[in-house]
Amino acid sequence: MSKALTTRKKVYDILEHGFDGSRTSRLFSGFIVVLIILNVSAIILESYKPIGEMYHQEFVLFNMFSVVVFTLEYFARIWVSVESPHSDRSEPIKSRIKYSLSPVSLIDLLAIAPFYLSFIFAIDLRYLRMLRMLRLLKLTHYFKGLRLFMDVLRKELPSIGAAIIIMSVLVIMSASVMYSVEHEAQPDVFDSIPSAIWWSVVTMTTVGYGDVTPITFLGKFISIFIMLLGVGIVALPAAMLAAKFGDELRTRKQLLEHEIATALQDGIITSEEQVAIEKLSESMGISSQELEQVILNYNRHNSKPVTCAHCGKT
């Protein structure tokens, strides 16, 4: 039993530590990342008919190989999820179910589900390729910056949702106004409010394709205000994300520094404190190199030397 637990912990370290872990962990992460990139490249090349027909058998075999690897990885992550700092080892089944319903696990499931569903349901090849593109999302496992972005996006979802609602209201209102103003002058272009929504969207996002433009004086005059309003409203969600992204980075590092200072008040890093700090840094998406740098910065500003409880070195 203890041997199985040790093996599970080793597999967990390989899967979860990624490029910040051991040599085996880095090699495995590199292999999966390359495999994901090759999958996306294969999907793109396969969509080009001459290449897709010439190497059809090779593409099928490569896809089957990829699905086998991703499937084994998916079930391995569920198996070792009990080793996560956030899981309850006393209830392994409950912990695994909780992990399998998490966003990262669902992404892994979406990466392999289209292959197995194609044996049950008749899926159009175009949509099947589009679903296979979801394998790109698996990169969130191996690049912690993407995890941080997803965390920020989840926290700011209410604010971003409010901004999107405001933008949608403005789009519909501007489309309604332009339909009323331009309908008589351009009945073929502004034939309905849904048709005017296309103009409203490309105008507020400053894309301006030019296929639909107002020709009346009043329509052009109103368009000026709509375009100026769109510059600020459409850029609002991006500005909110950028500001929150910086705040989140500062908050995480401040929290980690506080935990390190609390643990090192006596000048000694015990094994329990070391494990707690490593778990905290892992849950916050901070690499081992960044953690070492934070501790070094603490040492520079701390007059009291910090001693390791294991080797006694400063």
Please tell me which of 22-36, 242-256, 262-276 the model is most confident about, judged by mean pLDDT: 22-36
Indicate the pLDDT class of residue 133, thresholds 50, 70 and 90: confident
Indicate the pLDDT class of residue 275, thresholds 50, 70 and 90: low
Measured N-to-C along each axis, helices 103-117 and 125-132 cross at an angle, to the nearest 10 degrees, of: 150
Residue 285 has pLDDT above 80, yes or no: no
- Residue 14 CA to residue 72 CA, distance in Å, equals 14
Please, are residues 140 and 32 in contact by the beta-carbon 8 Å criterion?
A: no
- β-partners of residue 308 are 269
Mean pLDDT computed over 207-229? 81
**In whole angstroms, how far apart are CA 257 and each of 81, 264, 286?**
27, 10, 12
pLDDT confidence of residue 138: 80
Residue 306 has pLDDT above 60, yes or no: no
Residue 139 has pLDDT above 60, yes or no: yes
pLDDT confidence of residue 284: 63
pLDDT greater at residue 77 or residue 238? 77
Query: How many residues are listed for the chain in this entry?
Result: 314
Q: Which residue, 13, 18, 20, 44, is CA-closest to 31?
A: 18
Mean pLDDT computed over 291-301? 69
Which range has the worst mean pLDDT, 38-42, 110-114, 239-243, 303-307?
A: 303-307
Indicate the pLDDT class of residue 308, thresholds 50, 70 and 90: low
Q: How many CB atoms lie within 10 A of CB 46?
A: 21
Q: Which residue, 9, 73, 75, 79, is CA-closest to 35?
A: 73
Environment class of 61 (CB within 10 Å of its CB; exposed 0-12, middle 13-18, buried 19+): exposed
Indicate the pLDDT class of residue 75, thresholds 50, 70 and 90: very high
Indicate the pLDDT class of residue 7, thresholds 50, 70 and 90: confident
Residue 245 has pLDDT above 80, yes or no: no
pLDDT confidence of residue 65: 93
Instruction: Count Cα atoms within 13 angstroms, Cβ side, for 287.
Output: 12
Please tell me which of 31-40, 233-242, 255-264 the model is most confident about, judged by mean pLDDT: 31-40
Please, are residues 11 and 80 in contact by the beta-carbon 8 Å criterion?
A: yes
